[in-house]
Amino acid sequence: MNRRKFIKNASLTGVGLAVGNSLVNCADGNSKENLEKGKIIANPSKVNLPLVIATWDVKNATAKAMEVLQAGGNSLDAVEQGCKIEEANEKGQSVGKGGLPDRDGNVTLDACIMDKHGNCGSVVYLQNITHAVSVARKVMEDTPHVMLAGEGAKQFAISKGFKVEDLLTETSKKAWEKWKVEAKYKPIINIENHDTIGMLAIDKHGDISGACTTSGLAYKLGGRVGDSPIIGSGLFVDNEIGACVATGLGEEVVKTVGSFLVVELMRQGKSPQDACEEAISRIVNKPNSDYKNFQVGYIAVNKSGETGSYSIHQWFSMTKFQDGVNEQIQSDYFNKV
């Protein structure tokens, strides 16, 4: 049996187990009616909650989120606090302080956050504020809006007490100056390594939240916004079903409304793994898809605490913290040739 078939069969078995679990859970709160509607009620004693997953190798971030959850914090606090660790990490060149700039040398941030009620907040093209995810949360909680952009987002952040900072570090400035020598128009997307962080958490009450924060593609056109702050593309949370977050070339995620797609596929009964695989297949199977030249990765969790991750190319990974184990898990991927 080849690897792909093996994985397919394994995930089919996973679906079988998930259905089995749901039936068992029936006695624990999942009415037949709810199950027929696609609703799954989390049962903390069976799921081993709390649980945190995040894109890429970000164990410090998942550790912070788990610390919040273990202290009795909710999943919204956990994903915000977890993402802030990467935003403040100057070594991460795809997020927050130290993020690589656009082609004009400006570091511009995109972020969003979504809670168990389906409330959400987002900032796009935000400059000079490190913690874009926290500004997104303020948009969600303190305004009647979902999304603020550019100077308006910055002024809003300042009005809420956020510190104005130069986000272009010496290392990122040097990398940009090197890039300028050839200044290739095409956005460079490094297949092996990104550090945009997308995080999903389920707290001990079984409630799900998610967040995503990034400086976007390095050397992008000034004004470019990716998938990460777009609800439904970079992130989607449905507390009845599950959640998904994306990383990679945002344009391809936006074109397929990737995270919403994954959650809807889970609503129709797919496991998180199968839903992520289907969402990647929508991208790579487009006529004339240029997928060999870009990366997209999804991670997802369902209400039962099952997780999945899948990408176009090798080397995408997910960090998962559950049951006292904080580990990086290599993702399965499409392009095996």
- Closest Cα to residue 137, out of 155, 114, 171? 114
Q: Per-residue contact track with ligand SD4, 74 to 103, x per CB under 6 A?
A: --------------------x---------
Residue 221-240 contact track with ligand SD4, rule CB under 6 A, x = bound = -----xxx------------
Site for ligand SD4 in 270-309 (CB under 6 A): none
Q: What does residue 14 show for φ and ψ, rounded to 5 degrees?
A: -55, -45
Selected from 64, 131, 194, 313, the binder of ligand SD4 by CB under 6 A is: 194
Nearest-CA neighbor of 109 among 92, 90, 91, 128?
128
Token pair, residue 171, equals 């290392």
Sole binder of ligand SD4 in the list 50, 210, 216, 308 (CB under 6 A): 216
Report d(CA 63, CA 69) in Å as an integer.
10
Cα gap 221→129, rounded to integer Å:
20
Is the Cβ–Cβ distance between 275 and 308 less than 8 Å?
yes
Question: Residue 36, Cβ neighbours under 10 Å: how many?
Answer: 8
> CB 8 → ligand SD4: shortest distance, Å?
27
Mapped onto helix, strand or coil, the DSSP state of residue 125 is strand
| Segment 240 to 269, residues that bind ligand SD4, using CB under 6 A | 247-250
CB of 154 to ligand SD4, least distance (A): 19
Catalytic residue among 55, 196, 247, 307: 196
In whole angstroms, how close is the CB of 6 to ligand SD4 at the nearest point?
29
Catalytic residue status for 319? no
The span from the CA of 187 to the CA of 226, in Å, is 12
Closer CB to ligand SD4, residue 162 or residue 316? 316
Site for ligand SD4, rule CB under 6 A: 94, 194, 196, 214, 216-217, 226-228, 247-250
- Catalytic positions: 196
